[in-house]
Amino acid sequence: MRNEQEMMDTILKIAEKDERIRAAYMNGSRTNPNVQKDIFQDYDIVYVVKETKPFIEDKGWIDKFGDIAIFQEPDKNSCNFGMKTNFELSYGYLMLFKDGNRVDLHIETKEHMNDNYLNDKLTVSLLDKDNCLPAIPIPTDIDYHVQEPTVHKYLSCCNNFWWCQQNIAKSIWRDELPYAKYMMDCVVRQELNKMVEWWIGTNTNFEVSTGKVGNYFRMLLPASYWNLYLATYSDGHYENMWDSLFIAGELFRTLAKEIADNRGFSYPSNEDVSMTEYLNHVRYLPQDAVEIFE
């Protein structure tokens, strides 16, 4: 596996030798001083080019980066899903190499660069043949720090967390596993993750990032809370799903109350109590029941 220096040498050599490429810069985790480096980190690279068309029409140039195992053209795929993209301004290649390295490469025009370069504070200039890259401060992940919740966001999170659990309950009773799992992992968990992030932010003066989808939860939560969070993940067995749902409620309740005490919010205990009672009832509701409450 090529090391970081070898990869950066390859990335810069390609940019230096190709006159169509006028500048290069990097963003992402490798520019973040607060992220520990490991062997799976991507190289998030942007080439500023005269025009994108030649790089799209002849894909052979990407072979210069190494022996590719598989690659993706996300902009091309987006068109297949009806999303609007402008290939003349920017285009991307995501490349996984047989040695294990990965490069997420985007090409863009100077016009596109001027509109976007300063938007990401985790950016480092690598090459600038025309002095076209604007001056940018030292990389910082401040844009990714947990944001303080407003009382409205806090209450909305609580309401949606508890409300959506009735969808899980009825899906389990109906033996509709895919919908139950979707509601738990894609909807209810989203609200739980918000509360976890706010709790971490509250305890770190909102000066940290929790990573993509909670990558750093394990490092930022006390062991007792992390173990509860782990237990919110379940398999496809309904009894285990019930257990994980109640554990999610326990963790959410604990975090939400601590945040409320810290920020002067009022935790909506009535929603918690009502839904918890409902869940306990539906959990043991016979499959031949003709009414929810008799």
Q: What does DSSP say about strands 68-72 and 43-49: parallel, antiparallel, or unpaired?
A: unpaired
Q: What is the DSSP letter of 135?
A: P
As a CATH number, domain 146-283 is 1.20.120.330
- CA–CA distance, 241 with 170 (Å, rounded to integer): 13
Per-residue pLDDT of the chain (294 residues; tens, 9 = 90+): 999 999 999 999 999 999 999 999 999 999 988 888 999 999 999 999 999 999 999 999 999 999 999 999 998 887 655 566 789 999 999 999 999 999 999 999 999 999 999 888 899 999 999 999 999 988 888 888 999 999 999 999 999 999 999 999 999 999 999 999 999 999 999 999 999 999 999 999 999 999 988 999 999 999 999 999 999 999 999 999 999 999 999 999 999 999 999 999 999 999 999 999 999 999 999 999 999 997
CB-based contact 52:21 (threshold 8 Å):
no
Burial of 18 (0-12, 13-18, 19+ CB in 10 A): middle
CB-based contact 164:188 (threshold 8 Å):
yes
| Segments of the chain assigned to CATH 3.30.460.10 | 4-143
Rg, Å, the chain Cα set: 24
Q: Please give the structure tokens belonging to residue 28.
A: 């992402």
The structure's pTM equals: 0.85
Which is it for the CA torsion 161, 164, 170, 175, positive or negative?
Answer: negative
- CA–CA distance, 227 with 237 (Å, rounded to integer): 20
CATH 3.30.460.10 describes domain 4-143: yes
Between the alpha carbon of residue 48 and those of residues 114, 176, 187, 189, the distances in Å are: 10, 50, 39, 39
| Segments of the chain assigned to CATH 1.20.120.330 | 146-283
